[in-house]
Amino acid sequence: MKQSIGSLTVKSAMLVIAALLLFAPFLFQDIRALEVAARICIFIVLVASYDLLIGYTGIVSFAHTMFFGFGAYGSAIALKQMGPGWDAVALGTVAGVVVSLVIAAAIGLISLRVKAIFFAMITLAAASVVLVLASQLSQITGGEDGITYRTPDLFKTATKLAVDEDGKVVRWFGVKLNGKLAAYYFVFATSLVLFLAMLRITVSPLGTVLKAIRENEARAEAIGYRVVAYRTFVFCLSAVVASIAGSVYAIWLKYTGPDTALSFAIMIDILLMVVIGGMGTMWGAVIGAVLMVMAQYYLRDLMGAASEAVAGIPLLPELLAPDRWLFWLGIIFILLVYFFPKGIVGTLTAKGARPPEPLEGPVGVK
């Protein structure tokens, strides 16, 4: 099959992003940049797992951050209570996954039979309850302040992965081979594995069934697929992936609180990323997460610089003041939705690959 320019653009963008993330510690040698890179990795996984629900199967859920939070709090509480060991990491992650799985299965079996809007409301209610619980059970969760804890020694900044004769940490291309580097690659590798696994699922027979359910639920049922079972399964699957992403993020941040793991602001971020990137594409999750996280971290700086550059001109500096970054983010979002109605990836791949007109004659088989 001939590649359209749109899908070639998307593919090359993916390669560039993958390379940038892989070499991030060497390319951007400041702490903030590494923070951004790690956040991008985690959000790619989180958004991709949400895309399995909303883009592939057509399930609208507002409980995705809840599962992310289960994972994050699982690791956080285990690390706080048991000390910074690998046993705590394992136990915390597994506990998060089990809780997510049980809650997802319960919500799914009870309510995936009902209409989409009711299901969305039920997930919203569950997520609100968990958010309130997290802030009320402050002995365990640290309440609004959250929990700070230490992670395994391997991830400490002071840890030397390799030392030279003088006992100093070895540098590669000017980068210290320390625990921070190990922590970043832990985040990168887990995210990569999870993302590739999900990518594989979307082209598997199961992936086709999910799309069939999105396209025509009644017919999927009529040809022999138990729609409720498939829906519940994919809901559980995406919950588990979100939970693991949460655990990994908690290990990276060494802090877990409502703002980093449970708030509805994160849910809205996920929704925006899915819409910006393109639903039902997987690659859209990557584009959406990169753009959104970059904007959140750098739009302010960019506007600060822009505002100074136009200092002499009336009105413009006020408009571009860094404090108005959310306003500009909103404008950018509206423009993106206007020019890329199917998301960036969805719109690009559709360009030039439009289905041929029915009467144009036979179409080559792949």
Partner 1 sequence: MPQTSLSTTDLTIRFGGHVAVNRVSCDFHPGETTVIVGPNGAGKTTYFNLISGQLTASEGSVRKGDTDITRMSPSTRAKHGLGRAFQLTNLFPQLSVMENIRLAVQARAGAGWGLFRSAASLTGLNETTQRYLEAARLGDKAAMPAAALPHGDQRKLEVALLMAMEPDIYMFDEPTAGMSLDQAPAVLDLIAQIKSDPKKTVLLVEHKMDVVRALADRIIVLHNGELLADGAPDEVMSSQIVRDVYLGTATEETA
Cα separation, 145 vs 272, in Å, equals: 27
Least gap, CB of 55 to partner 1 (angstroms): 12
The answer to whether the beta carbons of residues 3 and 345 sit under 8 Å apart is no
Question: What does each C-alpha distance from 138 to 82, 95, 97, 362 come to in angstroms?
Answer: 18, 19, 22, 66
Least gap, CB of 301 to partner 1 (angstroms): 41
Least gap, CB of 220 to partner 1 (angstroms): 8
* Number of C-beta neighbours around residue 312 at 10 A: 7
Least gap, CB of 297 to partner 1 (angstroms): 35
| φ, ψ for residue 108, nearest 5 deg | -60, -50
Least gap, CB of 100 to partner 1 (angstroms): 18
Residue with tokens 């997930």: 123
Q: Is 224 left (phi over 0), alpha (psi -120 to 50) or beta?
A: left
101-125 residues labelled b (16+ CB within 10 A) or e (exposed): bebbeebbeebbeeeeeebbebbbe
119, HSE (Cβ side, Cα atoms, 13 Å): 22
Cα separation, 287 vs 274, in Å, equals: 9
Binding residues for partner 1, rule: CB under 8 A, are 1, 197, 200-201, 203-209, 211-212, 215-216, 218-227, 230, 355-359, 362-366
Least gap, CB of 125 to partner 1 (angstroms): 27
By beta-carbon proximity to partner 1, the closer residue of 281 and 307 is 281
By beta-carbon proximity to partner 1, the closer residue of 201 and 303 is 201
Least gap, CB of 364 to partner 1 (angstroms): 7
By beta-carbon proximity to partner 1, the closer residue of 294 and 350 is 350
Cα separation, 144 vs 132, in Å, equals: 10
Q: At what angle do helices 264-277 and 283-309 cross, to 10 degrees?
A: 100
By beta-carbon proximity to partner 1, the closer residue of 168 and 200 is 200
By beta-carbon proximity to partner 1, the closer residue of 233 and 328 is 233
By beta-carbon proximity to partner 1, the closer residue of 74 and 108 is 108
By beta-carbon proximity to partner 1, the closer residue of 180 and 231 is 231
Residue 74 CA to its chain's centroid (Å)? 18
